[in-house]
């Protein structure tokens, strides 16, 4: 499901349960860190294999959860994404060495 699809579903569910209309921009703002982590998790597992899944969570939690905290802020979110993608490349290169 696309990010907009997820937000529309959240909007409909919240409205159905509470009769409150939550703007899609509000839902997008609050779901952005979670959706970014999900996408990075998928990239990590596709590149490094299912066995590497615990390493992904450990990497995000390192240094007092530094990367997870960076993902919470819009101005640092893409820096965190870049760091994770660089780590994927570094680890993938290590897998390809003889």
Question: CA dist 60 to 22, 54, 71, 79, 84, Å?
Answer: 30, 10, 10, 13, 8
- What pLDDT does residue 98 have? 58
- What pLDDT does residue 94 have? 84
User: What does the pLDDT average to over 55-82?
Assistant: 96
User: What does the pLDDT average to over 15-39?
Assistant: 95
Please write the tens of the pLDDT for every residue from 69-95: 999 999 999 999 999 999 999 999 987
Reading the block at residue 35, the tokens are: 């959706």
User: What does the pLDDT average to over 60-77?
Assistant: 95
- Are 38 and 2 in contact, with CB atoms under 8 Å apart? no
pTM, two decimal places: 0.84
């Amino acid at each position: 499901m696309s990010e907009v699809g997820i937000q529309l579903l959240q909007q409909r569910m919240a409205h159905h349960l509470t009769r409150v209309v939550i703007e899609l921009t509000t839902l997008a703002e609050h779901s952005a860190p979670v959706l970014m982590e999900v996408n990075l998790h998928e990239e990590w597992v596709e590149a490094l294999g299912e066995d590497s899944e615990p390493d992904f969570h450990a990497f995000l939690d390192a240094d007092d959860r530094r990367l997870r905290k960076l993902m919470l802020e819009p101005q640092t979110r893409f820096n965190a994404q870049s760091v994770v993608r660089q780590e994927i490349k570094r680890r993938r290169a290590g897998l390809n060495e003889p």
